[in-house]
Every structure is written in structure tokens, then in C-alpha cells.
């Protein structure tokens, strides 16, 4: 079983409201606005709904996963809401940072320790992250662009840094002997 099935993660089919919200969030002004406001709004909706949804999912049909890494400087757990991209049975993450100039800190944490927790709604599993190969990178961006056009815009606007793409696979457990 892959990460998608283990979490029950799926994107909702587009409708007019989702399309409108996605088109507002993709351009630079929308990206800046949502980069500063969406996390607290999502957190509030998540608390109100008992972890069953977020504002991002309700308004844009984009389900939010929660990546829990260990801070590479602090050693403390860091929980980051992200949109994951389905790739086969697994999920991918893109370090776009709302098209910002800086690589998001979760990327550095993931590079330092690729064994992390991934949550969606009330489910949480252990996953291992790895860099996408060149072919996978292109496949992830193609899939991401079909889900949310903002990813295509982010890729066009990011200057001076590489966008890192990770594939998440379910961590293997070894039976006790």
C-alpha cells in the first residue's frame, strides 16, 4: 500500500468555486496574500472540524498534509502544512515557498533527516523522503500544474534558487526476530 492509500489522500474534482480560488491564489499578489494568511486560517478550520478539513480544501479543493520534520538547527519537531501531489501510489512535495526567493525551512529539515511523519486529516504515517530524479521532477511538476496552476507560475517566477522536489514513500518496518 502506498502513501496515498495509507492516508486516504485525494484531490477533489474541480468546480467553479475551486477554479476561481485557484486562479486567485496563483498570480503573484494572491501568492503573497495566501503565504501570509492561509496557515492560521487552515489551523482554525482544522480545529473547528476536528482535523477533518482545512480552509484550503473547502475553498480550493486542495487537501493539506502535515509534514512533521525535526528542525536541523533546533532539534525540535516542526509541523508544516503543504499541498502534496499524487504520483502513482505515493505523494510528492514541492519546495516552492509560494514562489518566494528563499527555500522553505522544511526542505532543509527533510534533507537533514528524511525519515518523517506525514499526516492527513486524522491519519498519520511514517514516510521516507528522497529527491526526485530528473524525470520524476518533470512528472511531478506536470501533475502539480494540472492540480493547481500556481505551481507552473511559481516555477516560472522563482529566480536564483532551485525548487526541490521530494517523493514520499511509506517507511518500511522490519518485523522483530
- Phi and psi dihedrals of 74, rounded to 5? -85, -30
pLDDT for 153 = 76
Determine the Cα–Cα distance for residues 25 and 35; give it in Å rounded to an integer: 9
Q: Do residues 106 and 80 make contact, with C-beta atoms less than 8 angstroms apart?
A: yes
Q: What would the mean pLDDT of 24-44 be, rounded to a whole number? A: 82
Residues 48-94: pLDDT tens digits? Answer: 998 888 888 888 888 889 999 999 999 999 999 899 999 999 999 99
Residues 101-120: pLDDT tens digits? Answer: 788 999 999 999 999 999 99
Strand 115-120's sheet: what is its strand order?
77-83, 64-70, 115-120, 123-131, 165-170, 90-94, 85-87
165-170 and 90-94 beta bridge pairing: antiparallel
Tell me, which fold does domain 3-170 have in CATH?
Pnp Oxidase; Chain A (2.30.110)
pLDDT for 177 = 46
Please report which residue ranges of 8-149 form alpha helices under DSSP H. Answer: 16-25, 28-48, 55-60, 105-112, 134-147
In sequence order, the 6+-apart residues with CB closer than 8 A to the CB of 109 are 69, 70, 71, 72, 78
Average pLDDT of the residues of the chain? 87
In order of 20, 41, 167, 169, the CA distances from 138 in angstroms are 26, 31, 12, 18
Residues 112-161: pLDDT tens digits? Answer: 999 999 999 999 999 999 999 999 999 999 999 888 877 877 777 777 78
What residues does each domain of the chain span?
3-170
Amino acid at each position: 500500500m502506498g502513501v496515498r492509500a495509507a492516508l486516504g489522500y485525494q484531490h477533489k474534482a474541480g468546480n467553479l468555486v475551486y477554479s476561481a480560488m485557484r486562479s486567485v491564489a496563483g498570480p503573484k499578489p494572491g501568492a503573497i496574500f495566501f503565504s501570509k494568511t492561509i496557515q492560521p486560517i487552515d489551523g482554525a478550520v482544522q480545529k473547528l472540524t476536528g482535523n477533518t478539513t482545512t480552509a484550503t480544501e473547502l475553498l480550493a479543493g486542495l487537501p493539506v498534509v502535515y509534514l512533521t520534520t525535526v528542525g536541523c538547527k533546533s532539534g525540535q519537531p516542526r509541523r508544516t502544512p503543504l499541498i502534496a501531489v499524487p504520483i502513482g501510489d505515493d505523494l510528492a512535495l514541492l519546495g516552492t515557498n509560494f514562489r518566494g526567493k528563499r527555500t522553505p525551512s522544511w526542505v532543509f529539515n527533510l534533507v537533514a533527516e528524511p525519515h518523517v511523519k506525514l499526516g492527513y486529516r486524522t491519519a498519520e504515517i511514517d514516510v521516507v523522503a528522497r529527491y526526485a530524479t530528473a524525470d520524476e521532477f518533470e512528472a511531478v511538476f506536470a501533475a502539480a500544474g494540472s492540480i493547481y496552476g500556481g505551481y507552473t507560475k511559481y516555477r516560472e517566477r522563482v529566480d536564483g534558487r532551485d525548487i526541490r522536489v521530494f517523493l514520499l514513500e511509506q517507511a518500511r518496518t522490519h518485523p522483530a526476530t
